[in-house]
Structure 1
């Protein structure tokens, strides 16, 4: 396995990787990296992945290949504090003071300058939608059009998450499992969110029946681990939450106050929050800002998405003056990661100036072959529920 400096050298040498100097915020500068792929044009597709913590260069190599094959000129920025953009000139991690949403948004604009382009079609996924909308707030002249895939709207999105999950499962068989002590109420939100997003109601039903039979404990524990994996494990140049977690907690309110009821979401963030500054407020009021977005906005929303549920996507699409909602059947959170072909096809339609056609085309997008890491997890979940036992990852 390649580690440390050798892996960094190899990732930095990947095709299309570039760097530019950006301020740390204390008088120093560091190398911010980005990657550009596909036939260059005057208005590229700027893709901003989720997180915070997801890298851009290494994990989205195949996506950029697929995008280039469809004639898309793609730019992706390695988020400051992550991967190739993690350290200062001495190799030390960037300080928390260098990691704010506004600095990240300004990095996006600086990359467009470095590419020599005035505007971009901006595609944000999950946390990336917050950054995409932030770019629209701070640099509106840089946005040609926008795709918001599984959009965030505010630090209070957790209320919609709880509501969506509880409307589905609170009064069903889960209640009896909690009352009898088979499952812990505080774990239910984390587990059922994952299962619903990657398998839908049918797989949730299979899990609950497995638990009722006394044969599901190992599957349940595996699912608990999956929910915590993104934040607890640092996978260099892929997922690095440890530094940019300061954005999650201090600016985006990722550790909401528990309400003490079953199916509460994001409880596992509570233990992590102590290592970061407390929530100080959001950098933007996106609810009001969206009303001033004069460009086309396509909002992608998976039917199985709980992390950014349909109610939020509907509101975002309604607030944007030229917004359209694109519902994707059988799809969970972030089409960019769970339904790559749907995401790229939607992006290409928006690049072509035809975003208003997307609602009509949504069923065809959903039916495209599924690629990406989400398909792997969905298949693994199906296998484990069928077997009723844990197997090695």
Structure 2
């Protein structure tokens, strides 16, 4: 990424060469009023940028008095290349190295402890950071907790109970679409995204229109948004899965083995699996590490989350020493779809008021939704309404 595209808050930290990684500059941003214990926010992915996509998030965080640090993931955006401008190699893509990058930024900023916040894939990094650097963690917030590569069966059960086995209008239309020959992988991608973004109110009209027409604008938009194929492997500065995706496949099992049944989440990344290494095993046993966490832990749970279903967070809370579960009316990753909810939860954690969060869930749900992902249901709903008028 050209350095001139970075905003004025962007900083660079030289990372030394190792056996696996050439010397490169790691980029990060720190915004807001300085605090002795800032907040490190780790987005999802792997492959999501931390700098360009979250300018608005950091601005709102600063307005709310939060000192926020976001580190550009190695292999992405402003942290993509070595000093000669060459892409970092696949050997540099390891979770252990990513969390060492975060620790190096804290050292560079003279920070002893921080509140560690992760969303989706970022929750694995946050928990791994806690396991490796427990003395650096003042508190932790996991937004849509991903804690193990072994949650695939839970994902399967959740989506199939909702979309396939249930005696519902949704399941009826899904069966009809499968009978019509609609690709099961794409159907799951679209249905899951629509449900997470807008629930049945958005999902059902989209499915029904697809059943009646070969192509619809809403279906095509959701497919573009949700499908993981070669067309979205790289969107510079925002989503760059082509390098960082090595972590997803090698260490988190993104290339799962299909079970041969409809609506299998194991197929989500199947179109690009040949570009990445096979699963070699997880670098951390987070189920064994979580009971050792001594800090306050907040688990933000979307009631419509199908990618990291709520039982995952409940299992984490059951083993943690000091955990708070906060259920909000949302899909996957509040950082993307309901950032004001996440910011309010972060402020409660920073102020030591995290145990009041469950009682504030209704108020959090009433907060306005900001950001592009939050506007998608409104835009898709409008497209569906227009198409139903033109093509009943």
TM-score > 0.5 by shorter chain: yes
Q: 1:18 to 1:218 in 2, by over 3 A?
A: closer
1:42 aligns with 2:36: yes
TM-score normalised to structure 2 length: 0.93
Q: Which residue of 1 is the match for residue 154 of structure 2?
A: 160
Q: Could you tell me how far 1:174 is from its partner in structure 2?
A: 3.3
Aligned to 2:83: 89
Aligned partner of residue 255 in structure 2, secondary structure: coil
The answer on whether the counterparts of 2:3 and 2:78 sit within 8 Å (CA) in structure 1 is no
Distance 1:228 1:169, change over 3 A: closer
Match of 2:263, SS? coil
Partner SS state of residue 193, structure 1: helix
Q: Say which SS state the counterpart of residue 149 (structure 2) adopts.
A: coil
Aligned to 2:168: none
- How far, CA to CA, are the matches of 1:76 and 1:231 in structure 2? 27
Question: 2:269 aligned with 1:269, yes or no?
Answer: yes
Which of 56, 60, 66 is the equivalent residue of 1:62?
56
Partner of 1:300: 300
1:379 corresponds in structure 2 to 378
Distance in structure 2 (CA, Å) of the matches to 1:54 and 1:140: 25
5 Å-filtered alignment, 1:344-355, equals 344-355=343-354
Q: Which residue of 2 aligns with 1:228?
A: 227
Contact conserved, 1:25 with 1:97, CA < 8 A, in 2?
no
Hey, what's the Cα distance between the residues in 1 that align with 2:30 and 2:86?
Answer: 26
Q: Structure 1: which 5+ residue stretches go unaligned? A: none
Corresponding residue for 1:15?
8
TM-score (norm 1): 0.92
Aligned-pair distance for 1:229?
A: 5.8
Counterpart in the other structure of 1:366: 365
Q: Give yes or no for the alignment of 1:148 onto 2:142.
A: yes
Matches within 5 A, 1:127-276: 127-171=121-165, 172-174=171-173, 176-178=175-177, 180-181=179-180, 183-214=182-213, 219-228=218-227, 232-233=231-232, 234-276=234-276
For residues 227 and 250 of structure 1, the distance between their equivalents in structure 2, rounded to whole angstroms, comes to 22
Cα offset for 1:167? 1.3
Mapped partners of 1:365, 1:231: distance in 2: 37
Aligned to 1:274, the other structure's residue is in SS state helix
Please list the CA deviations of residues 95-117 of structure 1 after superposition, one character each: whole Å capped at 9, or x if unmatched. Answer: 11111000000111111111101
Across the two proteins, how many residue pairs are aligned to each other? 383
CA offset at residue 207 of structure 1? 2.4
Q: Is the 8 A contact 1:55 1:78 kept in 2?
A: yes
Contact 1:182 1:211 in 2 (8 A): no
Unaligned runs of 5+ in 2: 166-170
CA RMSD of aligned residues (A): 2.0
Q: Separation in 2 of the partners of 1:213 and 1:181?
A: 10
Measured in 2, the distance between the counterparts of 1:162 and 1:23 equals 42
Aligned counterparts of 2:301 and 2:22: Cα–Cα separation in 1: 40
Moved more, 20-29 or 343-352: 20-29
In the TM superposition, 1:97-116 aligns within 5 A as 97-116=91-110
After superposition, what is the alpha-carbon deviation per residue over 1:342-375, rounded to whole angstroms, capped at 9, x for unaligned? 1101100000011111111111111101101212
* Alpha-carbon distance in 2 for matches of 1:189, 1:23: 43
Q: CA deviation at 1:276?
A: 1.3
Structure 2 partner of 1:325? 325
Q: How has the CA–CA distance of structure 1 residues 232 and 100 changed in structure 2, closer, same or farther, with 3 Å as cutoff?
A: farther
Q: What SS class does the counterpart of residue 276 from structure 2 fall into? A: coil
- From the superposition, tell whether residues 170 and 297 of structure 1 become closer, same or farther in structure 2 (CA, over 3 Å): same
